[in-house]
């Protein structure tokens, strides 16, 4: 299906991170030449260690805030998958300057380098946080609200810059608004760990996870394989109408945090029955969080022929098994 990508060269920025390293692996399996750019501040060398000696893989340790490094990384590249960013709403509230420097200045550097080096297509990680205070469900790409955090602002600015680079420089771009991605290789540690890996490790250790608020907040949790598929479809599509668009990258469903914990306990209890009895703590609502998030994937279905490969439950079961093997074997 993706044979058109064979022997092409794809640059994956943030390629040692959670999503980036999974994309590197998928591309290598398709016989693509993969160049990985990462500063290893939030990515990890162990995520790409299996590829370091692969004949089609090249690792560049550099920062997207360095324009020269971006220019060098884009040299003779066919396509860019731009995943590099400083994630986390709470981190952006604590340190908006660094978040802006990485997510806006770094993004602009990558656009400039892609333009200068004649990259054919620039596919980038956008974010569901762009929907901000919009109460409309499901979320549709052309109906957004006011951003609720510095992080959300930076991701919206990315979309605006991408449009300008198409209109001004004819650089084809595709933005993928990720909805709460989870799965293998997602880091469970650190102050800004995502909720699913964090809760998994806490439950494995019989520690009480803390839910922000009453647990009724809901998310369109999206398994990593769905995200990989969307990136590959965005890279390989030949339809002009599919380019220079923004797409929700999700399942099209939503799960509350209470339901999430229930499902985690169900799948983890297959390995350790005591996990069912681990208590849950409720804390205050988190500043900058949106109450509910659910994507309409109609546009991706129509223009990219996207179909999720995994539901939330099937993806969660896979993820739990991966974490158990990693941390209990």
Which residues are known to be catalytic? Answer: 151
201-206 long-range CB contacts below 8 Å, 24 or more apart? Answer: 201/323, 201/327, 202/278, 203/264, 203/265, 203/268, 203/275, 203/278, 204/268, 204/272, 204/275, 204/323, 204/324, 204/327, 204/328, 206/274, 206/275, 206/278
DSSP assignment, residue 293? -
* Contact between 208 and 202 (Cβ < 8 Å): yes
What spatial distance separates the first Cα and last Cα of the chain, rounded to whole Å? 36
Coil, helix or strand for 186?
coil
> Cα–Cα distances in Å, from 64 out to 42, 60, 82, 105, 288?
13, 11, 10, 8, 26
Nearest by Cα to 119 from 235, 241, 247: 235
Question: Rounded to whole angstroms, how far apart are CA atoms 136 and 69?
Answer: 41
Burial of 114 (0-12, 13-18, 19+ CB in 10 A): buried
Q: Which two tokens stand for residue 286?
A: 């988190």
Identify the sign of the CA torsion 253, 185, 2, 87: positive
Distance (Å) of CA 136 to CA 132, 284, 293: 10, 24, 9
Kind and range of the H or E run holding 228: helix 224-236
Q: State how far the alpha carbon of 155 is from the alpha carbons of 16, 106, 217, 267, in Å.
A: 20, 12, 22, 34
């Amino acid at each position: 299906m993706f044979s058109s990508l064979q022997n092409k060269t794809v640059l994956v920025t943030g390629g040692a991170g959670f999503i980036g390293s999974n994309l590197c692996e998928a591309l290598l399996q398709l016989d693509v030449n993969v160049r990985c750019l990462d500063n290893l501040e939030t990515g990890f060398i162990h995520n790409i260690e299996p590829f370091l000696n692969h004949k089609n893989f090249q690792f560049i340790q550099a920062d997207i805030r360095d324009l020269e490094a971006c220019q060098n990384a884009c040299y003779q590249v066919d396509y860019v998958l731009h995943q590099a960013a400083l994630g986390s709403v709470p981190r952006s509230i604590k340190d908006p300057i660094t978040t802006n420097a990485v997510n806006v200045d770094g993004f602009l550097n990558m656009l400039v380098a892609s333009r200068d080096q004649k990259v054919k297509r620039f596919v980038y990680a956008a974010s569901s946080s762009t929907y901000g205070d919009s109460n409309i469900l499901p979320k549709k790409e052309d109906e957004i609200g006011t951003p609720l955090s510095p992080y959300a602002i930076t991701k919206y600015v990315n979309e605006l810059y991408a449009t300008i680079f198409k209109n001004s420089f004819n650089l084809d771009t595709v933005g993928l608004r990720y909805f709460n991605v989870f799965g293998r290789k997602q880091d469970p540690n650190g102050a800004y760990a995502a909720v699913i890996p964090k809760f998994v490790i806490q439950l494995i250790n019989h520690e009480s996870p803390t839910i922000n608020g009453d647990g009724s907040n809901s998310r369109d949790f999206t398994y990593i394989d769905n995200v990989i598929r969307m990136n590959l479809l965005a890279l390989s599509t030949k339809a002009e109408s599919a380019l220079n668009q923004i797409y929700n990258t999700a399942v099209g469903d939503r799960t509350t945090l209470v339901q999430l914990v229930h499902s985690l306990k169900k799948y983890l209890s297959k390995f350790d029955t005591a996990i069912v009895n681990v208590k849950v703590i409720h804390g205050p609502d988190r500043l900058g969080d949106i109450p509910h998030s659910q994507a309409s994937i109609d546009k991706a279905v129509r223009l990219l022929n996207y179909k999720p490969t995994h539901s939330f439950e099937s993806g969660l079961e896979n993820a739990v098994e991966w974490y158990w093997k990693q941390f209990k074997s």
